[in-house]
Amino acid sequence: MQLPAAFMPLHEAGEPTSSRQPVRVGSKRLMLWPHVGMAAAAWAPPCPSEAGQLSDPTIPVGATSSEGPGDALPDATGMGAGAVVATGTAGTSTVGAMTLGGSLVQPRAARVAVMTRNALRSTLTPSSCPRRRATPSPSVRGFIDLHCHWIAAIDDGAKTGDEGVAMLRGLREAGFDKVVATPHMRPGMFDNDRAMLERAFAAMHPILSAAGQPLPEVHLASEHFFDDVVFGRLVRGEALPYPGGKSVLVELGQGAFPARLQHRFFDVKRAGLVPVLAHPERYDPVWKDDSCLDPLLDAGAHLLLDVCSLVGKYGRAPQKAAEKLLEDDAYEAACSDAHKPSDVDVVVRAIERLEKLVGADEAKRLLSDGPRGILGGT
């Protein structure tokens, strides 16, 4: 994408930062000079309309299989009651009829243009066209939770099936229509592999069916701890990406980032997966200088906000880091990362806080449009 002269990469900028405004274009954090903002404003294209909707076969609550876990019911290829329960396909990571087949609602380049235009408006006319709106929206549905630990007795999430159901019920009331289970894959702590997670997911199906109440559509992926063992699984196609098999959730250790992390993210991209970095605001290096994330963004990674960071669930340092990354438009999506039923109340407060910080439209992008794009592999 050809950038106008109004933009310069942060590491090349020579003027004091007080005279510039941060803008993220694609994976680059760029700085905008207000005195040349008019030329750049003319370059920014108009906001596009949505380009498509999800085509999303899901597991109908109440469906049963006479063929056992992992097998398809007779009409599993359709949208009817024949659901596939936790059947994995190597290389594509489809998890039965819970696989999302959605198209990207808003192309990345178009979203970048909208983001850039909003930042320009904030710089040029902050009083008449604010970038951040402080009015929370009314109750909204259609959120997609890309990170949740509702599967029972598989990691540090829900302890029982009833807890898992309670979490899903609460998330639905909070506005989430789709919830992706992302149990840990972390050798030495949670020694789960793909087959184990698929079995645990299938075991939850009768519990959800017996709940007798509306629940979100449920999907399966994993939160992959980015060590050598799991990295090998990622590049060999043995991990558990998001439905659709195009993006994968990864987490890092709390302390210093691993050596050559950017190169390894490139390797994951070459393996056909977009890395989605869980809760970057909770890592020590980000607290000190969030530019440590720039090489990962350059490698094609997306950042996933744990929305509860915004209300201090993990302490002041993660909250400040999350607010700064929000201001820089660094996040592609937001999630609950709920581990127990009581977390849902925190999620509700956190979504209200998110709307106050960035406005209803941006909150919707982070909780709905952004997750759709990630599931579409962009």
Per-residue model confidence as pLDDT tens digits over 148-161: 999 999 999 999 99
Is 70 exceeded by the pLDDT of residue 11? Answer: no
3-state secondary structure of 97: helix
Q: How many CA atoms lie within 13 A of 316 on its CB side?
A: 0
Bin 283: left if φ > 0, else alpha if -120 < ψ < 50, else beta: beta
Is 319 within the bounds of a domain? yes
Would residue 89 count as lying in a domain? no
Confidence of residue 140 (pLDDT cuts 50, 70, 90): low
Strands 7-9 and 28-32 turn out to be antiparallel
Task: Say if 58 falls within a structural domain.
Answer: no
Compute the distance between CA of residue 59 and CA of residue 300 in angstroms, rounded to an integer: 31
Residue 359 lies in a domain: yes
Q: Does 51 fall in a domain?
A: no
* The pair of three-digit structure tokens given for residue 103, joined into one six-digit string: 């198209």
pLDDT, mean over the chain:
74
CA distance 141 to 161: 25
Tell me how crowded residue 213 is: count the other CB atoms within 10 A of its CB: 10
Number of domains in the chain: 1
**Within a domain: residue 114?**
no
pTM over 0.75, yes/no? no
* Position with higher pLDDT, 19 vs 332: 332
> DSSP label at 143?
E
φ, ψ at 335 (rounded to 5°): -145, 175
Q: Is the pLDDT of residue 110 over 80?
A: no
* Residue range 203-224, pLDDT digits in tens: 999 999 999 889 999 999 999 9
Give residue 339's Cα distance to chain centre.
16
Query: pLDDT tens across 306-358, in order?
Result: 999 999 999 999 999 999 999 999 999 999 999 999 999 999 999 999 999 99
For residue 309, give the CATH number of its domain. 3.20.20.140
- Quick one: pLDDT at residue 63? 35
Instruction: Report the first-to-last Cα separation within the chain, whole angstroms.
Output: 16
Q: Does residue 196 lie in a domain region?
A: yes
DSSP assignments along 162-214, one per residue: HHHHHHHHHHHHTTEEEEEE--EEBTTTB---HHHHHHHHHHHHHHHHTT-S-
Residues 283 and 353: their CA atoms lie apart, in Å, by 21
Between residues 37 and 268, the one the model is more confident about: 268
Determine the distance from the C-alpha atom of residue 288 to the mean position of all C-alpha atoms in its chain, rounded to a whole number.
23
Q: Residue 144: pLDDT above 80? A: yes
What is the domain extent for residue 214? 135-375
Determine, yes or no, domain membership for 260.
yes
How, if at all, do strands 223-225 and 247-251 pair?
parallel
Give me the numbers of helices (H) and strands (E) for the chain, helices first please.
Answer: 12, 12
Mean pLDDT over 38-46 rounds to: 31
